[in-house]
Amino acid sequence: MTISVGDQLPDVALVKATEDGPEKIQSSDYFKGRKVALFSVPGAFTPTCSARHLPGYVDKAEQLKAKGIDEIACTAVNDAFVLGAWKSSSNADDVTMLADGNGDFAEALGLTMDGSGFGMGKRGQRFSMVVDDGVVKELNVEAPGDFSVSSAEHMLGQL
């Protein structure tokens, strides 16, 4: 079953990429008491993710925060080291990277995709959501191959 607006996020272990290395966290703790702009990419360093998706959130970070977002987070079925390197190479200081290395978070959300045709295996779909105190307030899931409704620009229009 796919997560919906109004649902509580599932409590799943994630790994936050930090300057000091990977930090294990629970999603329930991370999202508690704050308003988070969360977006998911199929993979760090992939073309659309690197050229458009992450840069959009970096460029619009101040505008999102001005509209009440406390934190911007990106999740992907990659390990924390890959996401940390992607963050660093993309100058994405305003984005928290949440590694979903085994795809447990994407699976619990019901938002997985099969990237086997590209040698990527099971991944998270491209989506964005506004999460307020652990509850999904907005949910934007892309059709396969698309990039529009999960963009920072689209989210700004929802806030």
Active site residues: 49
Helix (H) or strand (E) holding 113: strand 112-114
Environment class of residue 73 by beta-carbon count within 10 Å: exposed (0-12), middle (13-18) or buried (19+)? Answer: buried
Residue type at position 2: T
Q: Round to whole Å and give the CA distance between 8 and 137.
A: 10
Q: What's the gap between Cα 47 and its chain centre? A: 16
